[in-house]
Chains A and B, each alone.
Chain A
């Protein structure tokens, strides 16, 4: 096995340490520089990573990633998506089920899982569909997916809402048998027919069909009550409105086992961008108002929203190079998530690195029941780590992406800090900002 040392990194932005890794686990943590001189002369490391002045976090875990394989390999593959994830500082991603064929059987989730293992850059954890073909009519074989080699624990019809209340109740009940969680895409379908953007004064002015906040909030309210009733686990995907935050806050105060995520784009961007009619800003759920962005930030800080998840949604160029109504919804996000989170939460002083590590690694791993991910940085912990260099910057250009797609709303923007190194299961996957093949 590889032996490695990360020199001078600051776990959680605190005291600088030298981190030794062997056999895939952290084998020693000692004050920075203490291994120099005589020690170093007889300690030979296969890999030495310089990390002076850098922040060390547990490798990031994304609970919401679209890898598009099988079916839409023109926009992303498990291999390219894994590279994008690694470059963004992730050591684990959850691959959403809305592929073609849909990940609604043990066969498909095992295939996705195996392709992830073959690529070997991150843990690829398949998400299983809740209903057959995402049709919202009949439960998929959740148990078979749970007991497959892929060990599925997160189930979601993401992209579509499980809107039938009886089916949602049954799904919540059923996953209790294997400690699963239902991740709901909260969107009442009838209230959002033909919806193009957040419903408000701007949608009225632009003549784009509105996507009312209540369409999200009503489903969340229903589902937290169902979850309480059947005593199961519910996760809310991409919370986007201030009202949703209030509902989740209320549910948590009641002790209902609900968790929630917010995406980097909903934490940074507002609906005003839609006035350009540039479909790069078209996304589901839609960009909302400034008040919503502020409520989401506050909720991430106080823990009402448990995690940040990317909803990385690659699309080929032609699906965005068109008029608004014809364009696909979604934006890529794996390679910009940490830079945005750093800007929104660290630079602003809203959170420290330890708290951000909770939101982007520890808690998502716990929700997804992923062993070996999101561990506290200590001796004996699995070596899944990301080194963040605050002295660099992330300049977003089409050429920078490892993703097969470039539908990023941040082109030409620059963020302070950059992912410098990533270690996955004791092996370097990113060194000096470059993915190691």
Chain B
């Protein structure tokens, strides 16, 4: 069983992560049926609490909850308490009063989901749908699920699978969650970024690091490109988008260095022409659209496992 909340990829043991991936496989079968709905969460209320714009993640969670027959409310609070709107606490108390069984939160501040889960404002389960530059655990789970399908025939863990993650690791919650989860599942992760976009202390992360993309591409089973925001130039992280693209972008020449069966991943939305060229984005080995489809099933599995079990109801009544 899982814990009460899903806040960080580090919360998951290998067995828990595999349980989510295996459950995803079962639920994926439902997605292939003409009637895609399961009655599992009938009568339960799931709140999508989005303090940041994120159409794809919000829709993915909405669809996942609806396919499990939950009542879904979406609360898009543009601008957080930082901009003096309603505070996170008051929003949480409101949701609690409405009887939310689970709150899926996307927030610009690192740690906001943990705060929501531990401050005593609400009783329900908290799912982190991306917090600041901290974590995005369901993205890591859907990436792991996608990797497992392509490298392991959809079974077991990711032992020995070689994954290269390229780009703005410093500001990437996707990279953080992926490093943690992929390590748990036995994959070998290499981060590639300019030194300015690697966090201090990365030497002690459970992964390898390189500044040279060409050197690591031939030995990768999968290459995961991270979104780079042009605004980063203001912080002097790199001199120009052109130079970034030349040194760390994935184009056709670089793609040719990859093993024939290796895949290209991207959490989206892509900056075509910056971190990924259009011909790579549209190549057969780019599984970006499949990642989106897998995202719905992975989120169904998370909601199902966090809310569906009888034992979690027992816990709630104590």
By a beta-carbon cutoff of 8 Å, the part of chain A in contact with chain B is 193, 196, 199-210, 212, 276-278, 318, 321-326
Q: In the bound complex, do residue A324 and residue B199 qualify as a contact, i.e. CB atoms below 8 Å apart?
A: no
Q: How far is the CB of A349 from chain B (nearest CB, A)?
A: 34
User: What chain A residues lie within 8 Å of B275 (beta carbons)?
Assistant: none
Q: Does B227 contact A (CB under 8 A)?
A: no
Q: Residue of A at shortest CB range from B51?
A: A323
Assuming the contacts A201-B201, A325-B108, asked whether A207 and B135 have C-beta atoms less than 8 A apart, the reply is yes
Category for how many chain B residues contact A: 20 to 34
Q: Does B111 contact A (CB under 8 A)?
A: yes
CA separation between A318 and B89, bound complex, in Å? 9
Assuming the contacts A321-B89, A323-B88, A326-B80, asked whether A201 and B135 have C-beta atoms less than 8 A apart, the reply is no
CA separation between A277 and B110, bound complex, in Å? 8
Q: In the bound complex, do residue B204 and residue A201 qualify as a contact, i.e. CB atoms below 8 Å apart?
A: yes
Q: How far is the CB of A332 from chain B (nearest CB, A)?
A: 20
B128-139 CB mask vs A (1 if < 8 Å, else 0) is 000111110000
CA separation between A209 and B235, bound complex, in Å? 13
CA separation between A201 and B201, bound complex, in Å? 4
Q: In the bound complex, do residue A323 and residue B109 qualify as a contact, i.e. CB atoms below 8 Å apart?
A: yes
CA separation between A277 and B201, bound complex, in Å? 19
User: What chain A residues lie within 8 Å of B201 (beta carbons)?
Assistant: 200-205
List residues 181-216 of chain B with CB under 8 A from any CB of chain A: 199-202, 204-205
Q: Residue of B at shortest CB range from A212?
A: B200
Q: In the bound complex, do residue B82 and residue A326 qualify as a contact, i.e. CB atoms below 8 Å apart?
A: yes
Q: In the bound complex, do residue A203 and residue B132 qualify as a contact, i.e. CB atoms below 8 Å apart?
A: no
User: What chain B residues lie within 8 Å of A203 (beta carbons)?
Assistant: 199-201
CA separation between A318 and B132, bound complex, in Å? 21
CA separation between A92 and B199, bound complex, in Å? 44
Q: Residue of A at shortest CB range from B235?
A: A193
CA separation between A115 and B18, bound complex, in Å? 65
Q: In the bound complex, do residue A200 and residue B200 qualify as a contact, i.e. CB atoms below 8 Å apart?
A: yes
CA separation between A14 and B115, bound complex, in Å? 48
Assuming the contacts A201-B201, A210-B200, asked whether A278 and B87 have C-beta atoms less than 8 A apart, the reply is no
* Candidates B81, B118, B119, B173; contact of A326 at CB < 8 Å: B81
User: What chain A residues lie within 8 Å of B205 (beta carbons)?
Assistant: 204
List residues 243-267 of chain B with CB under 8 A from any CB of chain A: none
List residues 57-113 of chain B with CB under 8 A from any CB of chain A: 80-82, 87-89, 107-112
User: What chain A residues lie within 8 Å of B200 (beta carbons)?
Assistant: 199-201, 203-204, 210, 212
Q: Does B114 contact A (CB under 8 A)?
A: yes
Q: How far is the CB of A208 from chain B (nearest CB, A)?
A: 5
CA separation between A202 and B114, bound complex, in Å? 16
User: What chain B residues lie within 8 Å of A200 (beta carbons)?
Assistant: 200-201
User: What chain B residues lie within 8 Å of A326 (beta carbons)?
Assistant: 80-82, 87-88, 109
Q: In the bound complex, do residue B89 and residue A322 qualify as a contact, i.e. CB atoms below 8 Å apart?
A: yes
Q: Residue of A at shortest CB range from B108?
A: A325
B205-243 CB mask vs A (1 if < 8 Å, else 0) is 100000000000000000000000000000100000000
CA separation between A53 and B110, bound complex, in Å? 50
B113-151 CB mask vs A (1 if < 8 Å, else 0) is 011001100000000000111110000000000000000
Q: How far is the CB of B87 from chain A (nearest CB, A)?
A: 6
Q: How far is the CB of A196 from chain B (nearest CB, A)?
A: 8
Q: In the bound complex, do residue B134 and residue A325 qualify as a contact, i.e. CB atoms below 8 Å apart?
A: no
Q: Residue of A at shortest CB range from B179?
A: A205
Q: Does B176 contact A (CB under 8 A)?
A: yes
Q: List 27 A-B contacts (CB under 8 A).
A: A200-B200, A204-B201, A205-B176, A205-B199, A206-B111, A206-B134, A207-B111, A207-B131, A207-B132, A207-B133, A207-B135, A208-B134, A210-B200, A212-B200, A276-B114, A277-B114, A278-B119, A322-B88, A323-B88, A323-B107, A323-B109, A324-B110, A325-B108, A325-B110, A325-B112, A325-B132, A326-B109
User: What chain A residues lie within 8 Å of B107 (beta carbons)?
Assistant: 323
Q: In the bound complex, do residue A206 and residue B204 qualify as a contact, i.e. CB atoms below 8 Å apart?
A: no
Q: Residue of B at shortest CB range from A207?
A: B134
CA separation between A323 and B51, bound complex, in Å? 12
